[in-house]
Structure 1
Amino acid sequence: MRILLTADAVGGVWQYATDLARALGGREVETVIALLGPPPSAVQRAEAAAIPGARLVETGLPLDWLSDGPAPILAAGAAIAELAGDEHVDLVQLNMPSLGAAAPPPVPVLAVAHGCVSTWWQATCSGEPLPREFHWHRSLTGEGLRAAHAVAAPSAGYARMVARLYGLPRVPAVVHNGRAFAPMANGAMQDCVFTAGRLWDRAKNAALLDRVAARLAVPFHAAGPIAGPHGEAADLRHLHLLGSLDATGMARQLACRPVFVSAARFEPFGLAVLEAAAAGSALVLSDMPVFRELWDGAALFVAGEDEAGWTRAIESVIGDADRRHRLGAAARERAARYTADAMAEAMLRLYARLLAHHPAGRRVAA
């Protein structure tokens, strides 16, 4: 089998696409990774080049959430369809579903919903209507989802959210994200707290964690960019900012099994949480449906935005070594469900059904 995956180098879709391509390569599936948006770093290029059976194509095409209107995205969708034909792939996996609103590729299309402006807005700006300047994005994403031959999402909670918002006839198939983790040599457990992600993104709620950091007697480290591509910037004065970390840097931070915290308001899955769990870190997470789905029984959950409540929850783990060890062990055990191999096997089953039942032309998302 030969497939085309779309990806970008800005967020978690890069990690998802490279992990999936690597796992599929071990199953005799070739992948063409069609990169949209800003160019990858030298480290990312080297990572892609090392994946057996995969080839990175830097298209220079735009990302929908960095575009000011629909025309560039419709043109990008047409270009991806043309690339699929040129590359003689058997199937296209659009990790940006809005691309599917353009002319269809000559092969079956699977749209995977990893996040979009409209679901982000609904979760992050509760009660506020989506601004008119984003209506085109919602329209194209809905068209792309309905035009695909199948739709998937990385969690059941997010799948339901996508189905409701876009009026899909069926809830997308659920394939949990997965990571391939090398065995980690844990060092001595240290009394510190850690978070990671796009700190400029207000859905990650870094401002709340910054206020919590001011209340804690232990260091609170934070990895990730504080400035976004549209000029967004986080003013964080109490978190110990580490900048963006590569895989080695993340492993170094997680080796001491810090208490990992995510106060995210919106998260279709949460790869950083999975990385911390696989390292044996105790998890303190926002009490939202996706985190409950994935980590219930293996994490401490905190509801609301009150920094005093978050501080008490973190201190209750830091101050109780037995509880911290139990939570860390439970997180590591749960993380073993979410592997790259499990993800690849589930995706292969989706691909097989799609290739077996694909009729000529388009049909409503299944």
Structure 2
Amino acid sequence: MRTDLTRQRFHVLMTADAVGGVWSYAVDLAGGLVEAGVGVTLAVLGPDPSAAQAARAEAAGCRLVRTGLPLDWMATDPGAVTGAGEALARTARAVGADLVHLHSPAFAAAADFPVPVVAVCHSCVATWWAAAGTGPLPGDLAWRAELVARGCRRADALLAPCRAFADATARAYGLSRPPRAVHNGRRQLAPVLASVASPGTDPVPFAFTAGRLWDRAKNCAGLDRVAARTVLPVRAAGPVTGPNGERVRPVHLTVLGELDEAGIAAELSGRPIFVSLARYEPFGLAVLEAAQAGCALVLSDLPTFREVWADAALFVEADDADAVAGLLDGLAADPDRRARLGRAAQERAGRYTVAAATASVLDVFEALRAGPGIRAARQGAAA
């Protein structure tokens, strides 16, 4: 449903990254804003969206702009990121935006935006490195972290997908107060009938994961070790090679490649045990999709996962392959327990809707539009 531009409440320029989960977040939020009477221009940085992605964005009612600008984590130097921020500021002026919603604070580091800026801390190199790396932050990541720090101080409001990650972000960048926690919401994927299940029977059990398999923080290598020890098939959807050249070569997982929404829905329709052994996950939209489908959840014991899923998941040590394999095989043999866990996950997932996320983001937008006094408060700024 498209917003009537003559009647819209206000207009938001929102940036997006078509490579990972930020895309789902942005399109779902944009659709929620459009339904609330807000105009949205979605500016895509980095690789262009696929035809299916573009069609979904346009169906959500927003105007799609392919900028050709670099993503902060794929840029070759600081000037590329600050230049992208300046280009976005010009775009905000050109489209008559009343607010700017950035998917990374780094783009606010040096740009002179004409309107209030909300920056979302979906993830960042400093917190990622703390989970996935060792030793001091490498030079190629240090300048990126510095841009994020500067952007956090210049944005008018900061958001994060959960309290645990908001706190981690505040620690990483020395913020006097953490970003506002707004749990992500996800539109439920269209159901696809499971070909493996007959009416009245329990689906053939298997384990499933989805995400950027090439990202070392997703710990695909750890899940591959689990797959070598379990009798349960472990299926993995997602790219094994990243746009930055990083690559993973699993041996024991059944690698499905990149799946579109229909492909993911088809996998989830079999109600697999969804497993993530990630070492770093600010929220986890793939987990939410699995929970919406009624899958039992087995997740690494991260503060973010604990906050979001509480008692609706089983938590494991990511490096204990034997224990994880034993747990998965035990669940495969216990359909009643799987069903109980699936119902608990599905009930918990009911908290994380697009409507709830949209309402919280609209609260932030309206506060910033209320007057310069609120804007000057610089939510989340450092002392």
User: Normalising to structure 2: TM-score of the pair?
Assistant: 0.92
Q: Which residue of 2 aligns with 1:159?
A: 166
Question: Helix, strand or coil: the match of 1:209?
Answer: helix
Return the alpha-carbon distance in structure 1 between the equivalents of residues 141 and 317 of structure 2: 29
Counterpart of 1:12 in structure 2 is: 21
Q: Which runs of 5+ in 2 are unaligned?
A: 1-9, 198-202
Q: Does 1:97 align with 2:105?
A: yes
Q: Which runs of 5+ in 1 are unaligned?
A: none
Which residue of structure 2 aligns with residue 266 of structure 1?
Answer: 280
Distance 1:321 1:280 in 2: 13
**Match of residue 208, structure 2, among 194, 204, 221:** 194
Is 1:22 the counterpart of 2:43 in the alignment?
no
Counterpart Cα distance in 2 of 1:80 and 1:300: 42
1:51 aligns with 2:60: yes
Name the amino acid aligned to 1:97.
P
**Residues 217 and 278 in structure 2, CA contact (< 8 A), matched pair in contact too:** yes
Q: How does 1:72-151 map to 2 (within 5 A)?
A: 72-125=80-133, 127-151=134-158
CA-to-partner distance for each residue in 1:117-169, whole Å, 9 max, x for gaps? 111101112x4210122211011100001101110100111000000110111
Q: Quick check: 1:180–1:341 contact (8 Å CA) kept in 2?
A: no
Please state whether the residue corresponding to 1:93 is helix, strand or coil. strand
Provide the rounded CA distance (Å) in 2 between the counterparts of 1:110 and 1:150.
5
The answer to whether the 8 A contact 2:189-2:265 is kept is no
The aligned counterpart of 2:225 is: 211
What SS is found at the alignment partner of 1:296? Answer: helix
Equivalent position of 1:339 in the other structure: 353
Deviations 1:69-123 (A, max 9, x none): 1001111101101111111111101111100012221111111100111111011
Bigger Cα displacement from structure 2, 182-191 vs 84-93 = 182-191
Equivalent residues of 2:222, 2:318 under 8 A apart: no
For the aligned residue pairs, the C-alpha RMSD in angstroms reads 1.4
Tell me which residue corresponds to 1:37: 46
Structure 1: distance between partners of 2:80 and 2:184? 29
- Does structure 1 conserve the Cα–Cα contact (< 8 Å) formed by 2:106 and 2:147? yes
Structure 1 194/182 Cα, relative in aligned 2: closer, same or farther at 3 Å? closer
Structure 1 range deviating more: 238-247 or 211-220: 211-220
Distance 1:330 1:103, change over 3 A: same
- Letter of the 1:294 partner, please give it: V
Q: Which residue of 2 aligns with 1:279?
A: 293
User: Aligned partners of 2:189 and 2:243: how far apart in 1?
Assistant: 32
Q: Which residue of 316, 321, 334 maps to 1:320?
A: 334
CA distance in structure 2 between the partners assigned to 1:97 and 1:193 by the alignment? 36
Say whether 1:173 aligns with 2:187.
Answer: no
State the AA in 2 paired with 1:208: G
1:190-243 CA-partner distances (Å, limit 9, x unpaired) = 211100000000100011111111111121110000001121111111111111
TM-score (norm 1): 0.96
For 1:201 and 1:20, how far apart are their aligned partners in 2? 25
Relative distance call for 1:24 and 1:360 in structure 2 (3 A) is closer
User: 2:204·2:270 contact (CA, 8 Å) conserved in 1?
Assistant: yes
CA distance in 1 between counterparts of 2:110 and 2:171 reads 23
Letter in 2 for 1:215: R
Q: SS at the partner of 1:297? A: helix
1:343-354 to 2 correspondences below 5 Å: 343-354=357-368
Counterpart residue type for residue 76 of structure 1? A
How many residues align? The count is: 364
CA contact (8 A) 2:43 2:65 kept: yes
SS at match of 2:311: coil
Contact kept? 1:148, 1:362, Cα under 8 Å: no
Q: CA deviation at 1:357?
A: 3.6
1:307 corresponds in structure 2 to 321
C-alpha displacement of 1:358: 3.2
3-state SS of 1:245 partner: coil
Inter-CA distance 362–94: structure 2 relative to 1 (3 Å threshold): farther
Q: 1:253 aligns with which of 267, 279, 283?
A: 267
Q: Distance in 2 between matches of 1:343 and 1:57?
A: 23
% same residue: 51
What is the identity, as a one-letter code, of the residue corresponding to 1:249? Answer: G
Any conservation in 2 of the 1:101–1:143 contact (CA below 8 Å)? yes
Check whether the contact 2:226–2:324 (CA below 8 A) recurs between aligned residues.
yes
